[in-house]
Amino acid sequence: MRNRPSSVHPLSIEEVFVLLQQIKEVIQEYLAYSSVVRPIIFWNLTGRCNLSCQHCYNSSGPDLEADTELSTKEALSFIDDCAELSVPVILFSGGEPLLRPDL
Ligand code: SF4
């Protein structure tokens, strides 16, 4: 790559395409399931919560029903699936996860 002044158009369009291709290759290589990089699971166990904050990204609240949640059996099966896929971390979130009677 040529040295250019950093003020205006530091890369040509051809250089941008080359860079994008390299980024694509890195993403394809490292975001696939592998022994090196594995997904982390953020699991909203429930939408129920003691509070009903306006800023809640999950629209959680005390009036929500549990009918859309995984059952205990389904949840344990999902955890087994994650273990089989070598998922290194599961982050339990919600809502308030401790409102589940099985926790
Ligand atoms: S999950 Fe958190 S942000 Fe959402 S209503 Fe409950 S306490 Fe508030």
pTM comes to 0.65
Q: Which two tokens stand for residue 82?
A: 């994650």
Which pLDDT does position 1 carry in this prediction?
47
Which pLDDT does position 73 carry in this prediction?
95
Task: Spell out which residues line ligand 1, taking CB within 6 angstroms.
Answer: 49, 51-53, 56, 58, 60, 94-96
- For CA atoms 11, 17, 18, 19, the dihedral sign is positive
Give bridge partners of residue 92 from the DSSP assignment: 43
Ligand 1 atom nearest residue 52's Cα: 5
pLDDT 10s digits, 14-58: 887 788 888 877 776 666 666 666 778 999 999 999 999 999 999
The percentage of residues in the chain with a pLDDT greater than 90, rounded to a whole number, is 44
Helices (H), the chain: 13-30, 72-84
Q: Find the 57 Cα to ligand 1 centroid distance in Å.
A: 8
Q: Find the 80 Cα to ligand 1 centroid distance in Å.
A: 28
**pLDDT higher than threshold 70 for residue 94:** yes
How many Cα atoms within 13 Å fall on the side-chain side of residue 23? Answer: 6
Residues 65 and 98: their CA atoms lie apart, in Å, by: 15
Dihedral, CA atoms, 101, 64, 41, 80, nearest 10 degrees?
40
